[in-house]
Structure 1
Amino acid sequence: MAKKKKDNNRTSSSQKKTFRGTIEVTRSGMAFVIVPTLAKDILVKQKNLHSALDGDEVTVDVIKQAKNLGRMEGVITEVITRKKSEFTGTLQVSKSFAFLIPEKGSFLPDIYIPAGAMKGGKDGDKAVVKIVNWGEKSKKPVGEVVEILDATNSADLAMKEILIDSGFPLSFPTEVIKETSDLKDIIQASEIRKRKDCRKWLTFTIDPVDAKDFDDAISYRKLKNGNHEFGVHIADVSHYVVPGTELDKEAEKRATSVYLPDRVNPMLPEKISNELCSLRPHEDKLTFSAIFEMNDKAEIVSYWIGRTVIHSKHRFTYEEVQEIIETGEGPYDKEVLLLNKIARILRKNRFDEGAINFSSQEVRFQLDETGKPIGIIIKESKEAHQLIEEFMLLANRTVAEYVANVRVNKHEVPFPYRVHDTPDEEKLNVFSVFARKFGYKLNLSTPETVATSFNELLTAARGTPAQHVLETLGIRTMAKAEYTTDNIGHYGLGFAYYCHFTSPIRRYPDVMVHRILQECLDGNVKPDKQLEKRCKHSSEMERKAMEAERAANKYKQVEYMQQFIGDTFEGVISGVAHFGFWVETVDTKCEGLVGMHNLATKDDFIYNEHEYALVGQNTGKTYRIGEKVTIRVVAANLLKRQLDYDLIEDDTTTSSSSPRATARPSNGDRPKKARAPREKGPAKSGPAPKKRAKKTK
């Protein structure tokens, strides 16, 4: 009998099968082991989980074989890799030891904490505990207190619990801090001699007003032949974060920074992200650069990629650059206007070549000094943002294409591409039928015609009542972008080659890209056999970061809307299900549920998934995604992070005077900036939006 691969399937002489996979635990406590080579996941009952937790990489022995194409059942025999090691809960303290009692529904046993590992924790304290030992002989996990949480600050506690629950530690291990503190602040002359010296070039950064981690800069030089030279300079994190160090292991484990409304949970310690690698003005900095020679038509004549040293002359905010674009005046105005001219051409070319021009809205909270939301504003993308975006996209695309053409023993170099698959065919067909009701026809013949007709639809719908619903549902037909060594191109951007090169301070895949890119430049490629596994981990952590950001935003929405219980607002139906529909308020962008119980008095409604609507069986009344409605806020539950709305009939309310939200363009997979605030602290904005009507008594 042929020997099976260890990571897929192992068969003993007694025909007992052992598989390796990732475990998913459901809310009921039932679990499933996902094995890539199996069509169906392996069922594991709670009693057979042993110490395995959600997300762990495990081995599982099959104890019941599949019958009639049913599902196999198994028992966990080993936890290979823990997905998460820190947990929150309540301390139960005795004289010489304590237990952390986890939150209900976590299916985690109480964690034993020895007396010397309590860090002063008292009975009843909320705490973060790290599991340090959970061997085969130990029925209970053993842990140590990482942090005592302030239970009096419920919002701060909620944000920390969201991060911990998503698998992101709140602090860095001692070894990581030690390694970071040992990093030298001074750049050695010997290091500068190894690099292209760009310090005399005009170089500047463009970032949000509250940013401190400047991870990219732009340079410009006019060449003697009349062409232009533009440099995209990226913080050289890989110079400081070396493979095999504790710092690198921690960065890979986290894989991404997480941006919540009132804080950032960084991938790298502050000394690296805000000091050593931040491209601050008037300081020499080590960078990895892509430098382009272009003509006036933004056509690339040649390019160079390699390690550099730069010296930023100026730090711009987006607002300052936008003012220069609009007025034609300001520091380095000629250079800024030229950069914007080139960016406009690059942007137009990108859409002409098949990129999809979706627009979206991004919400940002205005916070007081305690982190409490006092207003909600809509982030608007203007030409200053698009200027940076186009040059970052160009650098990402160029680096990916360069590596894709490198061969080692006639083989392609394993590389962490950023890919985006074509739309789901079934979802696309449903959307096409729906769009036709608004007078728009999609050409579904090929992926190229789909992209073209999508753009035509979005252009035609812009400014019409149908815009919001068509954009929302159109985005839902799209696949999720991910990291992988299997390059299938990036459909949303219209690129055959794409990677993430421009944000290594906050994304681990960019660090991997820098390392492999340097190996290619040196002609000394050492293929990483674990690269695809690292890519999958980065994709998974990106997903968890997005879920954490959504959960935190939802918490802040509920926290903000608590003051408006009983008030009425204009809203738009943003989602429909068999148990009701969700409504997003126009002026605050806060989403809540109108439950079926609220509609029961009006008619018997049935969910029609092809119409994205609830349809009344007696009256024919429909509630369809994208339609305007008026709602009353009836409940705001912080614990559940849930808003409940009641539907108000049109003839019982007056029109709202609240301002409409401003749409901002989005282009699929943004290379940077399209995210929550980088640094901890309140967002700066105008006054909070006004409520629509007085409270109903």
Structure 2
Amino acid sequence: MTQDELLKKREQVLLKLMEDPMYQPMRLQDIAVFLDVPKSKRKDLESALDALVREGRIRVSKNGKYGKSESQEKEGVFAANAKGFGFVRIPGEENDVFIPRDKTRGALQGDTVRILIPRGQQLERREGRVLEIVARGVSRLVGYYRRENRSGVVLPDNTRFAADVVIPAGASLGAQTGEKVLVEITAYPKERGEDLEGRVLERLGKASAVGVDLTSIVRSFEIPDTFSEECLAEAVRAERQGTEELSGEVPGRRDLRALCTVTIDGEDSKDLDDAISLTELENGNVQLGVHIADVSEYVKEGGPLDREALNRGTSVYLPDRVIPMLPVELSNGICSLNEGEDRFALSCLMEFTAEGELVHSEICESVIRSDCRLTYTTVNQIITNHEPELCEHYAEFVPMLERMDVLARQLRALRSERGYIDFDFPESKVILSPSGKPIEIRAYERNEATRLIEDFMLAANETVAKTYCLKHLPFVYRVHEAPTPEKLQLLKTFVMNFGLNLKLKNGEVTPREIQKLLLRVEGTEAEDLVSRMALRTMTQASYSVDCIGHFGLASRYYTHFTSPIRRYPDLQIHRIIKEDLRRGLSEKRKEHYRAILSGVSDRASQTERRAQECERDAVKYKKCEYMEGHINEIYEGIISGVTRYGIYVELKNTVDGMIRVSELRDDHYQYNEEKAELVGEFTKKRYRLGEPLRVRVTGADRLIRTVDFLPEPPLPSADED
């Protein structure tokens, strides 16, 4: 046993002694007698006690008695800052613990650490020190390779990693200076400031080469972007099998090829996994058909494709590429509902009254044929602007599209009545040149065509969820819990500044109350501000085997049924539905699904968050790259966040950046958390969440994903002119 291990063992014995409820503070000699430590070893005992005192884990009184410390020990995940300090997030606690630069003990981003927190601190401003690194959080990272003599050094892309990675001779795979590489860490530093050691696993290419920037981001999130030969072979076999089956009779499936059916997607979409139809019934009602590609027909449970799809969890959409959950032979081929081609589907057929009330539904295995591939732009021009040329070109589909528009608006109104919350913040669209450079950033606005598809997919998801929840079969649901009482109280306090009230009952709120709040501020100056605060109050949606409802949609029953090409939970429930339709689930199969679905739900939630973080990081990178070419230009924006450190501003093109408080030289600003504002001590100038602000771009940094602004005076009004 090494000296360090021996010291650690002695410390554990002493801590166990002092944590005993019967223990009373004792002097060194009393502890030695109690533990039967001979005089020759008392110096070692004293060293162990001194080490524990230095760490704050025990205390010593003026008269030399050692006792239990008043500090708390907690375990959590370390989040590093590029400046050397960090924060520890403790499970079940809302407030992080600040760790100063000299008390991190060499902890790195993502490490699980045990920390010591002195008692008597304010909950939201606690400070601690790292006692021990329990588990390392990252074993691989991406960075810039620089050759040094026979060895090399990798500078991590993630600036939160304060240490470089030394690559010994023979471990570089021949990487050259200027390349991006994926490395595996083989040795971690024992103290802050020491380097990591690792080996190169993959050379990604020259840092300046097209696409290497986003490939580096993909690798940093450990998202697989290639398929094994085994998976590709299965995909080819499945495509061949599907083509043969569709060329003949299709027993056991409802033949819906006679229905007028269309797909409506973006112009550049290739994986068309949903189609819709609308049929007028003799009783005056309409039947809406939502037809979803039957991916489960080709991806068999437990096979190579299924295992890979579960591992990926979802497709990932980046500015320059899509990383599919399934190989393109399936996602863009036999599982894509291409125009004029027969395809297997799962169809949700829903009958609605003239007022939009659902009166009957049926789910069936089907074979369909899309009659036309439409785009959001085309359909919006037809149903909103009644564009003559398009209406003439698509004359056979116009009556159905117009009746679909009526139904979609009815469904939207009914959801609104029950309290559906619609946060309509624009998403980003990044336009790249052939060389991968961002040439335009703009808001991706929703229109009536995108809303129509959203309305119909929501209807199908709710119908399927209700059907299987009432059957009490094992299933995967999309769930969204209500906001926490703490966050609701903050929102209530905040909106009181505008003379508004949020009704809480026992610390809880209904979706209807949130919706009423948003309707009250619609069209006012406070709309953006209150909407953003309400959005921050919401919890994150996830997957679960329990049908607990979806708060944001104000829906008692909700699942994800409509995208099995790109989401694993949809694929999983398709299997359950088909088994139930064909022969019903035996007790053995029910037990099988009960055993696996909890793990499927957890994995799907994890991979969804990973994909979202990767997508956001890639878009942020390209936004920063774009803004590098627009330094000193002036933009109109909205204050999207206010903290004690600075003001976040979102431009109309969706780029967001920060004005640091330290750069506001005109006054000394105080932060008011309740009102989410910074107020000048002398000028009384206010920077408030949701208010418009003109800014000048002063800097952009792709590496740390930041854009810096400074405020500009508002333009003079017409009266002032």
- Normalised by the length of structure 2, the TM-score is 0.75
Using a 3 Å threshold, how does the CA distance of structure 1 residues 88 and 191 change in structure 2: closer, same or farther? farther
**Would you say the 8 A contact 2:483–2:537 is kept in 1?**
yes
168, 179, 190: which one aligns with 1:126: 179
252, 271, 277: which one aligns with 1:213: 271
5 Å-filtered alignment, 1:199-210, equals 199-210=257-268
- Whole-Å separation in 2 of the counterparts to 1:85 and 1:175: 25
1:189-243 residue CA offsets vs partner (Å, 9 max, x unmatched): 4882132222222111000111111010012333444432221111112222222
1:350-391 residue CA offsets vs partner (Å, 9 max, x unmatched): 111121233212221333332322223322222211211111
506, 519, 527: which one aligns with 1:459: 519
Using a 3 Å threshold, how does the CA distance of structure 1 residues 117 and 558 change in structure 2: closer, same or farther? closer
- Whole-Å separation in 1 of the counterparts to 2:335 and 2:509: 43
Q: Helix, strand or coil for the counterpart of 2:602? A: helix
5+ residue gaps, structure 1, are 1-14, 657-697
The answer to which structure, 1 or 2, has the higher relative contact order (CA under 8 A, 6+ apart) is 1
Partner in structure 1 of residue 230 of structure 2: 175
> What is the deviation of 1:182?
3.2
**Would you say the 8 A contact 2:273–2:292 is kept in 1?**
yes
Tell me whether 1:608 sits opposite 2:672 in the alignment: yes
Tell me whether 1:623 sits opposite 2:678 in the alignment: no
565, 587, 605: which one aligns with 1:539: 605
The structure whose residues are more often helix, as a share, is: 2
Partner in structure 2 of residue 150 of structure 1: 206
* Number of equivalent positions: 618
Partner in structure 1 of residue 218 of structure 2: 163
1:432-491 residue CA offsets vs partner (Å, 9 max, x unmatched): 233233343322237996433433332332232222111111111111111122332101
**Would you say the 8 A contact 2:264–2:375 is kept in 1?**
yes
Tell me whether 1:365 sits opposite 2:430 in the alignment: yes
Partner in structure 2 of residue 501 of structure 1: 561
350, 362, 366: which one aligns with 1:308: 366
Partner in structure 2 of residue 565 of structure 1: 631
1:217-276 residue CA offsets vs partner (Å, 9 max, x unmatched): 012333444432221111112222222222222221221122122322222221121112
Using a 3 Å threshold, how does the CA distance of structure 1 residues 560 and 383 change in structure 2: closer, same or farther? same
1:341 maps to a residue whose letter is V
Using a 3 Å threshold, how does the CA distance of structure 1 residues 608 and 531 change in structure 2: closer, same or farther? same
- Whole-Å separation in 1 of the counterparts to 2:337 and 2:638: 42
**Would you say the 8 A contact 1:40–1:71 is kept in 2?**
no
Tell me whether 1:597 sits opposite 2:662 in the alignment: yes
292, 298, 301: which one aligns with 1:234: 292
5 Å-filtered alignment, 1:439-454, equals 439-445=499-505, 450-454=510-514
Partner in structure 2 of residue 680 of structure 1: none
1:199 maps to a residue whose letter is R
5 Å-filtered alignment, 1:188-587, equals 188-189=244-245, 192-326=250-384, 327=386, 329=391, 330=394, 331-407=396-472, 413=474, 415-445=475-505, 450-521=510-581, 522-523=584-585, 524-525=589-590, 526-586=592-652
Q: Helix, strand or coil for the counterpart of 1:644? A: strand
- Whole-Å separation in 2 of the counterparts to 1:132 and 1:276: 41
**Would you say the 8 A contact 2:657–2:706 is kept in 1?**
yes
- Whole-Å separation in 2 of the counterparts to 1:83 and 1:129: 12
Partner in structure 2 of residue 676 of structure 1: none
1:504-532 residue CA offsets vs partner (Å, 9 max, x unmatched): 11111211222233344332433242422
1:251 maps to a residue whose letter is A
Task: Give the fraction of aligned pairs with identical amino acids, expressed as a percent.
Answer: 35
Deviates more, 1:540-549 or 1:68-77: 68-77
**Would you say the 8 A contact 1:422–1:447 is kept in 2?**
no
Q: Helix, strand or coil for the counterpart of 2:595? A: coil
Using a 3 Å threshold, how does the CA distance of structure 1 residues 624 and 302 change in structure 2: closer, same or farther? same
1:94-143 residue CA offsets vs partner (Å, 9 max, x unmatched): 99x9997755654899598998994xx54225245486999xxxx97766
Using a 3 Å threshold, how does the CA distance of structure 1 residues 197 and 55 change in structure 2: closer, same or farther? farther
> What is the deviation of 1:280?
0.5
> What is the deviation of 1:174?
3.5
Using a 3 Å threshold, how does the CA distance of structure 1 residues 278 and 113 change in structure 2: closer, same or farther? farther
Q: Helix, strand or coil for the counterpart of 1:486? A: coil
- Whole-Å separation in 2 of the counterparts to 1:108 and 1:402: 54
**Would you say the 8 A contact 2:180–2:207 is kept in 1?**
no
1:383-426 residue CA offsets vs partner (Å, 9 max, x unmatched): 2112111110011111111121223xxxx52x221111112322
